[in-house]
Amino acid sequence: MLPLLDILIWSLAGVLFGSLISWIPGFHIFNIMALLVAVFGVGELMPVQAFPFFAIGAIVAYAYVSAISSVYFSVADESAVFLLFPTQRYLLLGRGHEAVLLYLIGAVAGTLILVIGALFIFPKVLPPIYQATSPYITYFLTAIVLFMFMSEWPKEGDRGKTPFQRLWMAWRQILGGLLVFLLSGILGFIVMNTNLLPTTSAYTRLTPMFIGFFGMSWVLLNILSNPPMLEQVPDDRIESSPYNIAKASFGGALGGTIAAVYPIITGGMGALIAGHMTSQRGDDAFIISQGVNRVIYYVGAFTLLFLPNLRLTRGAAAWLVSSIYTPKSYAEYLAAVGVILLSAGISFVFTYYISKFLARSFNIVHIRKLSYFVAITLVIISYVLTGPMGIVVLLVSTAIGMMAAAFNTRRSYCLGGLILPVLISMTGHTGEVMHLLGLG
C-alpha cells in the first residue's frame, strides 16, 4: 500500500480534477477518466497503486459537483413540450441554489450512510446476500425492464374526444419509449459485438454512445430551447422537513445500493424501484433522494472494488481502474473510506460556493454559448477515444436521445443500449441476433 501522505495527495488531486470538470454539462467523470488514461496513461505521471485513490476522489467530486450542471445548465424554456425535471422547475422559479442545497443535503446523508455501511454492514452482509442472489441477476434485470414499460405513466390521453383517440394519445408515448429502447439496444448490440469501433478502444467503446444518449442530446436541447436566463436567489434557504429528508434519504439509499451492487442496474433504475417501494412524493424529497442515490451509486459501486471479501467491479470507472490496479488489503479499504469522507467535505464546499457564485451571476454567460463549447468538446472526446466511427455512433445515439425527449418518454430507455445486448448475451442469443441483423 502507498504511504498515507501519497494517498492523501493523489486523492486530493482526484477531488480537484473531478471538481474542475464535473460542473460542465454533458461531461461525465467516467469519460474524462478514460480520456486521461488514453492520452496520458497511468504509471508514468502517477503510480499505479495511486490510481484507485485518485479515481475515488474524482468520483466523489463528480457525485457532488455534477449537481451544478443538472440544476443550472439543464434549463428549459416554457414551451413545456417536454416535461421538466424538478431541478429545472426550481431554476425556472429562481430557486436553483435551493435545489443545489437540497441535493447537497442528500449527498451528505448519502456519504454518511455509505461510510457507516462500508465500515459496519457491507463486509458482513453484502457477501452472503450477493452470493445467494447473484445467479438470478438476469431475472431482476428483465423484471426491471418489463416494469419500466408496464409502469410508464401516460402523460396525455385524458383529453381525446373519443376513447380510441384517448388510447392512441396515451399509447404513442409508451410505444415511443419502446422504440427508443429497441433502437438504443440495436445500437449497443452493434457497438459491443462488431469491430465498428477500433479494438484499441476496448475500455471506451461505449463512451460515444453514452455521450450521445445522455450528454450531447441534453446539450443540444439547451441550444434548441434557447432558455431564458432568469435571476436566481442566492439565499441559503430550503423548504423541506426533517421527515421528508429522512424519508428521501432512506429511499435514495435503497435505490443507490441496489444500483451499486447489481450490474447493469443504473442509479435511475434503482431510484425508480426505491421511489415506488417507499412511495415518495414531493420535489424536495426527489432532489434530496437524488443526492443520496448518486453518491451511493457512483461512490458505493466503486468502493466495492476495495472490499477484499467481495471485490466486485461495478461501473466503468471500476473496470478502467481494475485494468490497471486492483486494491487488495483491508488497509486500502479503510483508507478508501477515509478518502470518501475527506473528498466529500471538500466537494461539498466546492459545490456550495460554485452554486452561490452561479446564482449571483447566472445571467452573465448564456447557457447557449456554454452549450456550443461543450458540444464541440464532446465531439473531440469521442474522436480521441474511438476515432471517426465514434463520431458516427455519437450522432446516431444523440438522435436516439433526442427521440426520447420528443416522445415525452423516459430518458432512461436509452439504457437499452447497455441492457439489451447484455440480456441477449446472458441468455445466450448473441449469435442468433447477429444473424438476424445480418452481421454474422
Q: Around 176, how many Cα atoms within 13 Å sit in the side-chain half-sphere?
A: 22
DSSP 293: H
- Shortest spacing between CB 18 and another protein, in angstroms: 29
- Shortest spacing between CB 27 and another protein, in angstroms: 26
Stretch touching another protein by CB under 8 A, among 84-92, 181-189, 191-199, 341-349: 84-92
- Shortest spacing between CB 422 and another protein, in angstroms: 12
Which three-class secondary structure state does DSSP give residue 147?
helix
- Shortest spacing between CB 135 and another protein, in angstroms: 5
Stretch touching another protein by CB under 8 A, among 112-120, 164-172, 299-307, 365-373: 164-172
Nearest one of 49, 46, 69, 8 to 378, comparing CA atoms? 69
Q: Is 283 in the site for another protein (CB under 8 A)?
A: yes
Enter the C-alpha cell of residue 242.
Answer: 426533517
Which three-class secondary structure state does DSSP give residue 324?
coil
Question: Among residues 82 and 350, whose Cβ is nearest to another protein?
Answer: 82
- Shortest spacing between CB 227 and another protein, in angstroms: 11
| Three-class HEC string of 383-423 | HHHHHHHHHHHHHHHHHHHHHHHHCCCCHHHHHHHHHHHHH
- Shortest spacing between CB 167 and another protein, in angstroms: 4
Q: Is 226 in the site for another protein (CB under 8 A)?
A: no
Nearest one of 253, 322, 9 to 111, comparing CA atoms? 253
Q: Is 171 in the site for another protein (CB under 8 A)?
A: yes
Q: Is 199 in the site for another protein (CB under 8 A)?
A: no
- Cell 465498428 maps to which residue? 196
Q: Is 363 in the site for another protein (CB under 8 A)?
A: no
Number of shown-chain residues binding another protein (CB under 8 A)? 56
Stretch touching another protein by CB under 8 A, among 31-39, 66-74, 83-91, 189-197: 83-91
Q: Is 426 in the site for another protein (CB under 8 A)?
A: yes
Query: Which residue in the set 5, 80, 364, 436 belongs to the binding site for another protein (CB under 8 A)?
Result: 80
Q: Is 45 in the site for another protein (CB under 8 A)?
A: no
Nearest one of 91, 87, 89 to 103, comparing CA atoms? 87
- Shortest spacing between CB 73 and another protein, in angstroms: 18
- DSSP H stretches of helix in 41-157: 51-72, 86-92, 96-116, 122-133, 137-150
Query: Which residue in the set 84, 112, 223, 384 belongs to the binding site for another protein (CB under 8 A)?
Result: 84
Question: Among residues 138 and 323, whose Cβ is nearest to another protein?
Answer: 138
- Write down how long the chain is: 440
- Shortest spacing between CB 136 and another protein, in angstroms: 5
Long-range residue pairs from 192-200, CB within 8 A, at least 24 positions apart, any chain: 192/421, 193/421, 193/430, 193/434, 193/439, 194/439, 196/389, 196/393, 197/386, 197/387, 197/389, 197/390, 197/393, 198/386, 198/387, 198/389
- Shortest spacing between CB 148 and another protein, in angstroms: 11
DSSP 21-40: HHTSTT--HHHHHHHHHHHH
Task: Answer for the pair 11, 342: CB distance below 8 angstroms, yes or no.
Answer: yes
Q: Is 81 in the site for another protein (CB under 8 A)?
A: yes
- Shortest spacing between CB 375 and another protein, in angstroms: 25
What is the residue type of 396? V
* Residues between 122 and 161 that touch another protein (CB under 8 A): 128-129, 131-133, 135-136, 138-139, 142-143, 146-147, 150-151, 153-154, 156-160
Q: Is 246 in the site for another protein (CB under 8 A)?
A: no
Nearest one of 220, 421, 440, 260 to 340, comparing CA atoms? 260
Query: Which residue in the set 48, 116, 119, 276 belongs to the binding site for another protein (CB under 8 A)?
Result: 276
* Residues between 286 and 345 that touch another protein (CB under 8 A): 286
How many other CB atoms are found less than 10 A from the CB of residue 402? 19
Where along the sequence are the contacts to another protein (CB under 8 A)? 78-81, 83-84, 86, 89, 92-93, 128-129, 131-133, 135-136, 138-139, 142-143, 146-147, 150-151, 153-154, 156-160, 163, 166-167, 170-171, 174, 239, 247, 272-273, 276-286, 426-428
